[in-house]
Structure 1
Amino acid sequence: MPKTSKREPSRCTDENWPGRERCLACPIYKLVKSQTDPEMIAWLAQVLSPIEICRFDAGETACRAGDKGQHIFSVRAGIFKAVRYSQGGEYRIVQLFRNGESFGLELLTNPHFDHSVVAIEPAEVCQIPLSVIRTVEEKVPDLCTPLMEEWHDQLRQAETWIVQFSTGTVRSRLARLVIYLSVWNSGEEINTARLLPGRELAAVLGVTPESISRVMAQWKRQNLLQRLPEIGAETYRFDKTQLRRLAEASL
């Protein structure tokens, strides 16, 4: 967990808080925004007060596989990876999390974390005690229904992750991942994507970084992939038609 100096209280019901824009996709904030009754809002302000904002440096671990957990984490900024380590120390990325997405959801039915979750870049989360969720669920169960539905949708998506990126050639898997990251970052099908560093792409696909480098170099020569440094690090424009054809080649 991050040091105490990297924590601060959340302000789930304070509409004047300057950091509010990072809350807009948070399921807890959506729960608050759905309320108009002043008494209910005041009650939520009290119940949600134990939620803390925590900041992580790149490479810092938010939770470890096998540890007993007491919190669910809702991402406010940055990107996290859920990793599974082999006995030889190699790791596979089994899911990614960005703003508005949550990890540690397995704690809703299991006392221990399934995976270690690590910040890929400087990142920020809201740390939500399970006791807060249980209190809302017990006192106003109808209020919790949309929250639980959103989290269960996330869990279902996680089940398809390994299958989606583990079948086919390196080219077809990488094409799928580029298209996935494009939609994941923007919310729509566009022809630009902010990619992960090569080592992280390799860990998602279960291949070597050298394999990723070779395919990306070939795509750049063929103008299927063009780097856009003026937009941001690791941001690329890609030929959507050609990459979709590659992505579907071995499905």
Structure 2
Amino acid sequence: MPTRKKKSTRLRRSAMHGLNGDAKEGDFEAFVSAIIDKGARKKVFTAREVIYREGDQADKVFMILDGMAKLLSYLPNGRARIVRLHSLNHWLGLEALLDQPYEHTAIAVEDVEMVYVSMNDLHLLERDNPRQYCELLKQGYRNLALADRCLADFSTGGIRSRVARLVDFLAKLEYGEAANRVELLTVHEMADMLGVTPESVSRILAEFKRNDILHRMSDHLDEVYEIKAEQLQHEARQ
């Protein structure tokens, strides 16, 4: 299956968005420095590398500094289903806060730079900087809200509208709320998120391209497409 290379085109949005909507990028850098002072470490996971596995003891949490990761849940028949996508400044593995095993398997969609914090270091953060520790708890709530949205948007309605909602979701995840472009996942990954066949996704994407809802940006080497937002939103509402 093809994978996405490290992205040079994705905009680095205001990186504190997932921590404090009013903060600035400098605050984000200060936050990263603060948790590194508490023992956090940086690491780059290459595309398709496993970050952690479902059922493993959750002994650390991870924050994405750049790139994208997916969370997989395995069905009884052994098939993997993508249940969540995470991007810049999102936290993964927050089950560790409750001393629970990891609920999903986390895999890098592309090269992902992360900072990870052990539970011992998190306890120091809780003691020395309770405000930042509370932000972790808030991110846990946001993760649940995101999962609920994915369940509703990607599991109801016709396949065409669900593909449109997924494209819109990816655009906002990658480039922010005012996004006018998107870098698509592979058709297999999109099919896994929607619970449909790759052939169905491929057919609908081809229709979107023919109708110019998705227009390939010729100045990008990656699969980056300009979006006609009004038409895409119309398709998503069907």
Identical counterparts, % of pairs:
30
Question: Which residue in 1 is equivalent to 2:8?
Answer: none
The reply to whether residue 52 of structure 1 matches residue 49 of structure 2 is no
Is the 1:22–1:76 Cα contact (8 Å) retained in structure 2?
no
1:63-105 deviation line (CA, Å, top 9, x unaligned): 1011111100001222110011223332111111112111101
Contact kept? 1:23, 1:76, Cα under 8 Å: no
Counterpart position of 1:115: 104
Q: Does the CA-based 8 Å contact 2:214-2:227 persist in structure 1?
A: yes
Contact kept? 2:180, 2:227, Cα under 8 Å: yes
Is the 2:171–2:180 Cα contact (8 Å) retained in structure 1? yes
Q: What corresponds to 2:122 in structure 1?
A: 133
State which of 83, 108, 112 in structure 2 corresponds to 1:94.
83
Gaps of 5+ in 1: 1-20, 35-40
The 1:148/1:212 distance shift into structure 2, 3 A limit, reads same
Moved more, 91-100 or 223-232: 223-232
Query: TM-score under structure 1 normalisation?
Result: 0.78
Structure 1 residue 33 and structure 2 residue 30: aligned?
yes
CA distance in 2, matches of 1:90, 1:223: 33
What is the distance in 2 between the residues matched to 1:208 and 1:185? 24
Residue 200 of structure 1: aligned partner: 189
Change (3 A) 1:235 1:64: same
Kindly indicate whether the alpha-carbon contact (under 8 Å) linking 2:62 and 2:91 is maintained by their aligned counterparts in 1. yes
Instruction: Select the structure of larger CA radius of gyration.
Output: 1
Distance 2:42 2:140 in 1: 19
Q: Cα distance, 1:191 vs. partner?
A: 2.6
Instruction: State the match for 2:138 in structure 1.
Output: 149
Partner secondary structure for residue 165 of structure 1:
helix
Aligned to 1:181: 170
**Which amino acid in the other structure matches residue 147 of structure 2?**
A
Residues 248/46 of structure 1: CA separation in 2 closer, same or farther (3 Å cut) = closer
Q: Tell me the amino acid that sits aligned with residue 54 of structure 1.
A: K
* C-alpha distance in 2 between matches for 1:158 and 1:91: 16
Q: Which runs of no fewer than 5 residues in structure 2 stay unpaired?
A: 1-11, 21-25
8 A contact 2:58–2:95 mirrored in 1: no
Q: Which residue of 2 aligns with 1:213?
A: 202
Deviation at 1:149, TM superposition (A): 2.3
Length, aligned pairs only: 220
Quote the RMSD (CA, aligned, Å). 2.7
Q: Equivalent residue of 1:237, what SS?
A: strand
Counterpart of 1:123, as a letter, is V
Is the contact between residue 79 and residue 123 of structure 1 (CA under 8 Å) also seen in structure 2?
yes
SS of 1:213's equivalent in the other structure is helix
Query: Aligned partners of 2:182, 2:36: CA distance in 1, in Å?
Result: 40
Which amino acid in the other structure matches residue 212 of structure 2?
Answer: N
Considering Cα pairs closer than 8 Å and 6+ residues apart, tell me whether 1 or 2 has the greater RCO.
2
Match of 1:164 among 134, 153, 161: 153
